[in-house]
Structure formats: structure tokens, C-alpha cells
Amino acid sequence: MAYQTILEFATTGRGTRDITGAVAQVVAQSGIECGLVQVFVQHTSCSLTITENASPDVRRDLETVVKRLAPDGDPAYRHDEEGPDDMSAHARSVLTDTGLTVPVGGGRLLLGTWQGIYLWEHRTAPHRRKVVVTVL
């Protein structure tokens, strides 16, 4: 048995957005008690991550790390059609990931106490992002 839906989220620009509740709601609607949920973002300049859900400092610090690894406007980049954050957003997406899998038990996400699922926008401008959630 499988259940699938596409969620859409508006971002406010670079940063993280907690989507744990929305994914948990899809799991509950699926009626699947034991299995997996696969979450996939249909874009190349944002990503998904599971990280600390208690302290926002963790997410701010992660932004600092990826800023060092993939800085905006690096003169070595060739791809910059959409501005100085264009190629850095693609690099950040590759360094993180566009999909993740979480176990489901008792009809709910089996995340750890301090874990949350986040949509991580890597562009500086707001965007609308589609996330495919598949419960198996």
C-alpha cells in the first residue's frame, strides 16, 4: 500500500522552514501504521534536512557552514543567470540533499525527540516549493 501527495510551501528567502507537522499530517492521513515516508523536494536550489528542532541557533550555524562552502557570487562560478545566489544555491542543494526517508511506526513519524524535518531555501528571494510525500 502506498499513499502520496504533493505539498506546497512558500519560503521567505534563504533559511529553514519546519515542515514536520505537514509531513506528519500526511502520514496520519495515509492510514499506514508501519513503513517509511519518503520526502522529496522538486527543485534544484533548495533542499531538505533533518536537524535539531529545539534551538534555532543550530539552523543559523548550519547556514554559516554552507555559506563558507558555497559563497554567493564566487567569481569562479560560470552559472549566474539568476544572480549571485544562483550557483551557490545549486551547490548548497547538492551538499545537503533533495530527499530524505523517515521510518513510520504506530501511524506516526519515528523522529528522535530533538529532530525536525526542514525545507531549506538556498535562494535569497522568496519561492514556492513543491514537496512530494510518499508513505509506503
Domain harbouring 114, CATH code: 2.60.120.460
125: closest CA among 84, 93, 95? Answer: 84
Q: What are the pLDDT digits (tens) for 10-44?
A: 999 999 999 999 999 999 999 999 999 999 999 99
For the chain, the distance separating the N- and C-terminal CA atoms, rounded to the nearest angstrom, is: 6
Q: What are the pLDDT digits (tens) for 85-128?
A: 999 999 999 999 999 999 999 999 999 999 999 999 999 999 99
Task: Report helix, strand or coil for 69.
Answer: helix
Number of compact structural domains in the chain: 1
Residue 81 has pLDDT above 90, yes or no: no
67 membership: H or E segment, kind and range: helix 56-69
Share of the chain above pLDDT 70, in %: 100
What is the extent of the structural domain holding 15?
3-135
pTM for this entry: 0.96
Residue 80 has pLDDT above 90, yes or no: no
